[in-house]
Amino acid sequence: MASSLTSRLVHLNPITTRTPTKLNPLKKSSSFYFSLPSSLITRRSAVIMSSSSSYDKQLVAAKKAASLAARLCQNIQKGLLQSDVHSKSDKSPVTVADYGSQVLVSFVLQKELPSHAFSLVAEEDSGDLRKEESQETLQRITKLVNDTIASDGTYNVSPLTEADVLTIIDCGTSEGGSKGQHWVLDPIDGTKGFLRGDQYAIALGLLDEGKVVLGVLACPNLPLESIRTSSQNTKAGCLFSAQLSCGTYMESLDGSPPVKVHVSDTREFRRSIIL
């Protein structure tokens, strides 16, 4: 789901051909890098995003939601417990971070856009968490979500209950469709990368009448400066965002000024892959 969204970020806008800057290859690879190779990205001077689009409010909300989810994921990854990892019916891994990320994104979008009809197509549902053997996991997710909301300080709300968390997770079970607006979320694109301490992303997009109109990728382990330098002292956390006809931008999760990026004129595929 997220790989498709990633590849669409730079295509929401007309492509301007420029000569790419020379980039240092990253040591680690992931599905995210292969979807959006760093050799396809060129830095331009910092710019403020256009305020003319009708999707401005949604984009601000999406960036806030993905950034808060990234904060939760960073904290979990630092002290990941074996009990935090489970298997779905298809044997694919799911973690408390997957659930917690989905809860936070859904929570923030609904808080930031109260006048908008809410529809979310997301990865997880609450089925497994409602089982008796999952009660400790549900309690941990609930605590992690509440701690993240409290640390942000934006929302003056009572702590979420376990029942609240289950309900919010299931807000992501919309079937979407070609009518109206629908959010599409992969709470962690690259769960195996997350488990390795490697790269992963929170991927969020908005469809309007069946068309992608904005997208956000929060990459908690990707330093902004790593796109241009091999410096090991850069704080990790990078946010990509784009909206229709308004350009594609990157910034740090700390909120550095947005920098515009675009597809380069590289035509040799081997030069566009990070090994």
Q: What is the pLDDT of residues 160-205, one digit of tens each?
A: 999 999 999 999 999 999 999 999 999 999 888 888 888 999 999 9
Burial class (CB in 10 A: 0-12, 13-18, 19+), 87: exposed
Query: Is residue 29 situated within a structural domain?
Result: no
Select which of 98, 148, 170, 248 is catalytic.
98
Query: Is residue 1 situated within a structural domain?
Result: no
Residue stretches of the annotated binding site for Mg(2+): 123, 186, 188-189
Q: Is the pLDDT of residue 230 over 90?
A: no
Secondary structure (3-state) at 210: coil
Determine which of 155-159, 211-215, 230-234, 242-246 has the lowest per-residue pLDDT on average.
230-234
Q: Averaged over 207-211, what is the pLDDT?
A: 95
Query: Is residue 139 situated within a structural domain?
Result: yes
How much is the pLDDT for 166? 98
Grade residue 44 by pLDDT with cuts at 50, 70 and 90.
Answer: very low
- Strands 120-122 and 181-189 come out as parallel
Query: Is residue 136 situated within a structural domain?
Result: yes
Share of the chain above pLDDT 70, in %: 70
Half-sphere exposure of 117 (CA within 13 A, CB side): 9
Query: Is residue 204 situated within a structural domain?
Result: yes
Q: Is the pLDDT of residue 25 over 90?
A: no
Supply the DSSP string of 75-114, one letter for each residue: HHHHT--GGGEEE-TTS-EEEHHHHHHHHHHHHHHHHH-T
How much is the pLDDT for 263? 75
Determine which of 92-101, 199-208, 228-237, 264-273 has the lowest per-residue pLDDT on average.
228-237
Residue stretches of the annotated binding site: 123, 186, 188-189
How much is the pLDDT for 238? 93
Select which of 6, 137, 191, 248 is catalytic.
191
Domain span at residue 151? 55-210
Identify whether 170 is a catalytic site residue: no
Query: Is residue 168 situated within a structural domain?
Result: yes
CATH number of the domain where residue 81 is located: 3.30.540.10
Determine which of 88-97, 101-110, 114-123, 220-229 has the lowest per-residue pLDDT on average.
88-97
Q: Averaged over 15-31, what is the pLDDT?
A: 36
pLDDT tens string 47-93: 444 444 589 999 999 999 999 999 999 988 887 655 556 655 544 55
Minimal CA–CA distance to 11: which of 242, 239, 181?
A: 242
How much is the pLDDT for 13? 57
Determine which of 80-94, 135-149, 212-226, 258-272 has the lowest per-residue pLDDT on average.
80-94
Query: Is residue 232 situated within a structural domain?
Result: no
Identify whether 148 is a catalytic site residue: no
Number of domains in the chain: 1
Query: Is residue 88 situated within a structural domain?
Result: yes
* Contacts (Cβ under 8 Å, ≥6 apart) of 62: 109, 183, 204, 206, 214, 216, 241
Q: Is the pLDDT of residue 223 over 50?
A: yes
How much is the pLDDT for 92? 52
How much is the pLDDT for 197? 86
